[in-house]
Amino acid sequence: MLASRLVAIACLFAACADAPVSRVVGARCDRSGECDDRCLAPGADYPGGMCTVSCDGNADCPGDTACVADESGVCLFRCSSDGDCGLLGTGWACRDRNGRPDGTVKVCRGA
């Protein structure tokens, strides 16, 4: 019985580790202390705030994110349609942004 509980707990932690929204990129925040690197303050551009990391290029960004010129270079989730931004909650849409350094990229931003 104890072994099965430990397996279940381990599976939950493994699922959380693969979640796209985290304290690294995507979690809601009000201040940088709530994130691994920095918080993009809540407002029209980032509904509810958003944890992210600073970047100079895509190699600095985790997973399905891209480095954009906003806020002196931050990682935002890539998208192809508004539906791709649903993982962030309401108020987000897929928008064209100036990628760093490779031109226009579609990422999730405030609607």
For the stretch 32-64, pLDDT in tens is 999 999 999 999 999 999 999 999 999 999 989
- Please report where in the chains the tokens 């600073």 appear, as a residue: 54
Q: Are 93 and 82 in contact (CB under 8 A)?
A: yes
Q: How far apart are CA 98 and CA 50, in angstroms?
A: 19
| H runs (alpha helix) in the chain | 2-17
Q: Which residue has the higher pLDDT, 14 or 81?
A: 81
pTM of the model: 0.80
Among 62, 63, 45, 51, residue whose Cα is nearest residue 108: 45
